[in-house]
Structure 1
Amino acid sequence: MAGVSGCIKYSMFIFNFLFWLCGILILALAIWVRVSNDSQEILNSGDTSINPDVAVNILIAVGAIIMILGFLGCCGAIKESRCMLLLFFIGLLLILLLQVVAGILGATFKSQYEHILNETLYENVKYLSSTDDNAKAFQQALAEFQEEFKCCGLVSGAADWGGNFQQFSKSCECPEVPDDACTTYKGKYVYKQPCISFLKDLVAKHIIVIIGIAFGLAVVETLGLVFSMVLYCQIGNK
């Protein structure tokens, strides 16, 4: 009877150890976004029916599932357990299929996602000029965002701040020597670019990177499926 290939066995272990680490990173990032005060104020201040927390919760679930699958793959390879390897294969196959479906849906409904982003940001504009105490946290979060990413307002620039502009103008102000990215508003040099434009430009610049990462994950997952099934068959033939 054929034995188990040590190369396949330890390659499977290393692959799943890295897979497990990826799960930890995804889970940690999703939890950080979930508990971050700034991100929560930006995402949850609108009155739209779309709850952005759903995407974060899905990432938390995905990270946890990847960790579990990585653990099953590592143990299945070291202990030569066909049961664990089969569970790993089925779980990884389901993730790959869901990833393909998500990619198809993402391409199909891209315009709807853009509409949701626009709707959320346009809805939040009213909070910038509001004097309501409930809007203060959102205003402070956006002020920090503006200062970090050199944008001003959400949709129409500094004018979005209305009567609150003077209070939060510092986060919109350009350096002492203004450049072409700046304009004058109420006697102050402020950034021309509204934050909605910054967000759209950011997505456009990184869409190729996102597609590349997704494709890379699909290749890695396919290799994981091949390794696990080869090892599964070799253990059965011992």
Structure 2
Amino acid sequence: MHPYVAVNILIAVGSIIMILGFLGCCGAMKESRCMLLVFFICLLLILLLQVAAGILGVTYRSEYERVLNETLHKNVELLRGTDEKAKSFQKNLINFQKEFKCCGLVDGASDWGQNFQPNSESCECSDTSDSPCTLYDGKYVYQQACITLIKDILKKNLLVIIGLAFGIAFIEILGLVFSMVLFCQIGNK
């Protein structure tokens, strides 16, 4: 996948929203029923697309979890690798392990394979009473694998995304109501 696809999508969405806002503002200021109707239809289409995306998200939720599990299990190979891509992934996981006090991706410290000794510092328990630790390869390391923490972070952020989506949908519904009221008021003149 091209690395700038997300940026291009955000630019396109921003452009569409700018044009839509322009239609709504000009339609209200000029009292143009045509512009207000186009604004209403476009806003309704966006709302319907959001509802469809939400329904698809809920419908395929188990599929997302399966894909996440497969991805994390495949990334275990990167922990054992020595190429540049593996080194980059290892560096990021080391930072994650230090912050969240976990070790390895799926099965704990054994995920690191031969790379455990050079990278073991991020897995080591500094205080064995603070969190559950286990002895691995002569060192006390965190017992918990990072897979559960990654899933928890995604679930927590999913709730934030759902909340934002409902907030945006509420604002869109207000826009639909106000544009239709204005459309009807202009027609009564």
TM-score surpassing 0.5? yes
1:204 to 148, 155, 163: 155
Matched, 1:146 2:92: no
Task: Tell me the alpha carbon deviations over residues 22-47 of structure 1, each in whole angstroms, 9 at most, x when there is no partner.
Answer: xxxxxxxxxxxxxxxxxxxxxxxxxx
Structure 2 equivalent of residue 226 of structure 1: 177
Go from structure 1 to structure 2 and tell me whether the alpha carbon gap of 1:205 and 1:137 turns closer, same or farther (over 3 Å shift): closer
Deviation of 1:152 after TM superposition, in Å, equals 1.9
Go from structure 1 to structure 2 and tell me whether the alpha carbon gap of 1:79 and 1:170 turns closer, same or farther (over 3 Å shift): farther
Matched residue count:
188
Go from structure 1 to structure 2 and tell me whether the alpha carbon gap of 1:116 and 1:56 turns closer, same or farther (over 3 Å shift): farther
Cα contact 1:178–1:189 (8 A) shared by 2: no
Cα contact 1:143–1:171 (8 A) shared by 2: yes
Deviation of 1:208 after TM superposition, in Å, equals 4.1
Deviation of 1:53 after TM superposition, in Å, equals 6.3
- Partners of 1:195 and 1:110 in 2: how far apart? 21
Deviation of 1:67 after TM superposition, in Å, equals 4.1
Structure 1 equivalent of residue 67 of structure 2: 116
Amino acid at match of 1:220: I
Structure 1 equivalent of residue 40 of structure 2: 89
Cα contact 1:82–1:232 (8 A) shared by 2: yes
Task: Tell me the alpha carbon deviations over residues 2-37 of structure 1, each in whole angstroms, 9 at most, x when there is no partner.
Answer: xxxxxxxxxxxxxxxxxxxxxxxxxxxxxxxxxxxx
1:166 to 109, 117, 129: 117
Matched, 1:66 2:17: yes
Go from structure 1 to structure 2 and tell me whether the alpha carbon gap of 1:55 and 1:100 turns closer, same or farther (over 3 Å shift): farther
Q: Which has the larger radius of gyration?
A: 2
Structure 2 equivalent of residue 34 of structure 1: none
What does residue range 1-238 of structure 1 map to in structure 2 within 5 Å?
56=6, 60=10, 61-176=12-127, 178-238=129-189
Go from structure 1 to structure 2 and tell me whether the alpha carbon gap of 1:157 and 1:89 turns closer, same or farther (over 3 Å shift): same
Go from structure 1 to structure 2 and tell me whether the alpha carbon gap of 1:57 and 1:161 turns closer, same or farther (over 3 Å shift): same
What's the Cα RMSD here?
2.8
Amino acid at match of 1:147: K
Amino acid at match of 1:146: Q
Unaligned stretches of 5+ residues in structure 2: none
- What SS does structure 1 have at the residue aligned with 2:134? strand
Cα contact 2:43–2:172 (8 A) shared by 1: yes
Deviation of 1:93 after TM superposition, in Å, equals 0.9
TM-score by length of 1: 0.67
TM-score by length of 2: 0.81
Unaligned stretches of 5+ residues in structure 1: 1-50
- What SS does structure 2 have at the residue aligned with 1:126? helix
Amino acid at match of 2:117: Q
Task: Tell me the alpha carbon deviations over residues 126-162 of structure 1, each in whole angstroms, 9 at most, x when there is no partner.
Answer: 0101122332112112222222333221111111111
Task: Tell me the alpha carbon deviations over residues 92-125 of structure 1, each in whole angstroms, 9 at most, x when there is no partner.
Answer: 1111111111111112111111111111111111
